[in-house]
Amino acid sequence: MSEASERDARTILHSAFAFVQSVEANKASAAVTLDHVIAQQVKFLKSGEARPIVDSTGASTGDRTSRYDELKQLQSQVTELVTAAKSLAQEYDV
């Protein structure tokens, strides 16, 4: 094979491989739906997994609460705040 035909063969193989990769990438991205992404995020948030906190030496300094626990705590705090605001409004007849 001459150098020119070898270069042409590489170009053709590269183009074919790039085409196959782009088709596969399009199939994969088309398979992802908004419902799927939302379901994954909900699953992640509900996992309740506590993550360890480590210092620069790698020693554990405790656990970071899970996002689900943080959201539950935030929800509780907001509920308490709304209840207190309603109580004050009733107390002052607003």
pTM above 0.75, yes or no: no
- Run of H or E residues at 64: strand 60-64
Phi, psi of 56 (to 5 degrees): -65, -20
Task: Give the Cα separation of 27 and 21 in Å (integer).
Answer: 10
Pairwise CA distance, residues 41 & 33, whole Å: 13
- Looking at per-residue confidence, does 64 or 40 come out higher? 40
Position 79 confidence tier, pLDDT thresholds 50, 70, 90: very high
Q: Determine which helix (DSSP H) or strand (DSSP E) holds 60, and give its type and residue range.
A: strand 60-64
| Integer Rg of the chain from CA | 28
pLDDT digits (tens, 9 = 90+) for 27-48: 888 888 888 889 988 887 777 6
66 and 46 Cβ atoms separated by less than 8 Å: no
For residue range 16-28, what is the model confidence (pLDDT) as tens digits?
999 999 988 888 8
